[in-house]
Structure 1
Amino acid sequence: MFTLSCTDTGNSNGNTSADTTKTDNVKNISFSLIKTYPHDTTSFTQGLIIYKGRMYEGTGGDDSNVVSSQPSRLLETNITTGKILRSLDLDKKYFGEGITILNDTIYQLTWTEHAVFVYDMNFKKLKEFPITTEGWGLTNNGKELIVSDGTSNLYFYDPHTFRLLSTQAVTLNGDLINSINELEFIEGSVYANQWQQPYICKIDPASGRVTGRIDVTPIWDRIKKIAPELNPRDDVPNGIAYDSDTKKIYITGKKWPELYEVQFGN
């Protein structure tokens, strides 16, 4: 185990004014790398969750901009071996995105097809809801589904009807922050990957304020060394899973060969 304390020098890709024109005063949150596990390299990870001790993953598939040998899938995987235990392929007209599980019900977003799929725990499709925005990340707070669409917004939906309840803009030092991607709800906060960036943002869902950031550059640099064949634009950090029973946190990326158990600092 080792601890990485991240010195924040600002957003290298500069998607919002918060990262390009202002001094960044958001708290830097360190992380400790606890264990490393194998991860299936065919999985273009869009959603990663742990539910009742089991890991589930939603992946993207063939697309004109993102080339994959697999269709989009819903997976159950073995945490320690990375082996796929169960798999459901989506029709190739759908590009799978974030997933979450609430009350033994699985929800899976699609990217631009404006459809949300609902399954039971046996991967049997129960229903389908429409969504007006793109689908990127998905999590829940125990009552509501929380969706990102690649903008600065978080959307809160009723899980039974998928009726939009509220929208919360996310800000960094008072400015909107874009490219919010994969989501995980951990102890009252929303943690979000920023697409194509090394940051995991800790967000207060009530105010939308980014209260801290974890810089996973050391892990991303490791991946670039051990898997130089990955596309640096597409195969980026994406995937945060929290086991509420063990308090363990796992992170990975799109088509990464490794999954990491980590511990975030205060």
Structure 2
Amino acid sequence: MTFSDWANYFSANQNHLDNLSWDDTYRLTERELRAIRYSLPQFQQGEHSEGKHLYQKAKDLGDPDYVAAIRLFIREEQGHARVLGQYMAIHQLSRLCKSSGLDKVFRWLRQWASLEHTLRVLLTAEIIAAVYYQALYQATYSGLLQQICRRILRDEEMHLNFQCFTLTQITRGQSALRRWATRQAYRTLMAGTTLVVWVTYHRTLRAGGFGLLAFADAVSVEFGRVEEMLAAPGGISVREQTVESPVSAKPSPTFQPTSVELQPL
């Protein structure tokens, strides 16, 4: 597995958001709108980052294949923002004029950290996103929104793998003590972020079936998977997903696919 492989993967995945069912006639109910109208614009804006600081740090690494992969990764995240924005426009959900406080903190942390710590902060945000989009998927009966969430969740699976692969490459040779200290620091960041996100977006999370303990447990599971990937690099770890739900289908009660190991790209 190399950065060239990752660049090829992201290049081949550029059409991952094509053929969405924009002709879906389902309209969100008032209850559903109340559940998502605050959180969805926040996450849509978070996906819209230009990634200038991450891209500069990638160039500083001096690997052109990694730079190409990062450029395509950022484009993929912006694609998420684009389709979420289109969905919001259909349902007359207002976009944010400025970043949320939480988004500003994450951007600040990424801006002033080394590439390693930038990626660990990014992993923290992506772990939260992986659980949030599960909740959003289950929070409404909108088949189009479910379809968008499933595509984003598939992308997030690979994003977690990509960041973990990169971290294993750039942290080779670190002492066991430094690895342990870093792990404890980011466990603390993850715990604090989990609580803040729950307090801020609990309406969507509850509507999606995640009470506080369930949300914390789901985040913990995602964080554990990331730690396993960092400890045993070499493959691609994704979770099996069922066939994409047809538009306007009733959401499934849970979204917890089984872990499987695939061969490297």
What range describes the TM-score normalised by the shorter chain of this pair?
under 0.3
Whose radius of gyration is greater, 1 or 2?
Answer: 2
**TM-score normalised to structure 2 length:** 0.27
Higher helix residue share: 2
